Structure 1
């Protein structure tokens, strides 16, 4: 059985909820990523902030990225994650069902990695990846 741990990107950095959006943007640029997990107390996952969130929810609304906390842009009620030992089929199902491109991986409620479409594309059969990309692309924004 292939697990979430087998396909996840390890060592992802967590942005703190009180860190500002400009810090998030700089960290994304340094890491060459388009999203970062946002964590609160004790490293608990609160959401994911994307480069699109920064543009649409902050800059386009005339807000100052240096004055807006990352936690203000995440939708805590919409945080989906998967256990590190979950079967990769569960990962695919969640990503398709929730139409998400990235899925945080937790172990004992602690963030241990993140799975992106690219991670799955590199490690899964082509037909499985095709289904995922088609399902997410059909209705995502």
Structure 2
């Protein structure tokens, strides 16, 4: 079974916890991604910000994304996966937390991101189908 380190995307760009959400949105557009890790001044992961967070938690509430920082949207603790955790653990964690992307941590350092697409390329069809079903369920 492949590990997170073997299937992750290791070219990760962070947004600073002090960057405003206009900056985060611009960076997402430049990179063609829908989420970015939020990193603190200590270069440690503080959370994740998604394009959906910006729309639902900022724009829909009439707030100015130029006056809201990424750190304000950071959850209390980001859901992560260890670099040496295997695909079974990745599937379990994604399904349990209903997330499509997991930051990959080695010690305290962010080393990559594992997305559903990375898992899909690495595993047989059935476990990936089960994952998609689990994270797509509406409460």
In 1, Cα distance between equivalents of 2:82 and 2:11: 15
Question: Greater shift after overlay, 21-30 or 96-105?
Answer: 96-105
Structure 2 residue runs of 5 or longer lacking an equivalent are none
Q: Is the 1:7–1:119 Cα contact (8 Å) retained in structure 2?
A: yes
Cα distance, 1:139 vs structure 2: 3.0
**Partner residue, 2:136:** 137
Q: RMSD in angstroms over aligned alpha carbons?
A: 1.2
Q: Is the 1:99–1:139 Cα contact (8 Å) retained in structure 2?
A: no
**Partner residue, 1:48:** 48
**Partner residue, 1:11:** 11
Cα distance, 1:129 vs structure 2: 0.8
Q: Quick check: 1:31 aligned with 2:31?
A: yes
Partner secondary structure for residue 61 of structure 1: coil
TM-score with structure 1 setting the length: 0.94
Cα deviation per residue 1:54-81 (whole Å; 9 max; x = unaligned)?
001111111111111111112123x110
Q: Is the 1:4–1:91 Cα contact (8 Å) retained in structure 2?
A: yes
TM-score with structure 2 setting the length: 0.95
Q: Is the 1:14–1:37 Cα contact (8 Å) retained in structure 2?
A: yes
Counting only pairs closer than 5 Å after superposition, residues 1-141 of structure 1 correspond to structure 2 as 1-77=1-77, 79-139=78-138
In 2, Cα distance between equivalents of 1:49 and 1:76: 13
Q: Is the 2:2–2:122 Cα contact (8 Å) retained in structure 1?
A: no
Cα distance, 1:11 vs structure 2: 1.3
Q: Is the 2:21–2:70 Cα contact (8 Å) retained in structure 1?
A: yes
In 1, Cα distance between equivalents of 2:133 and 2:29: 28
Q: Which runs of 4+ in 1 moved over 4 A?
A: none
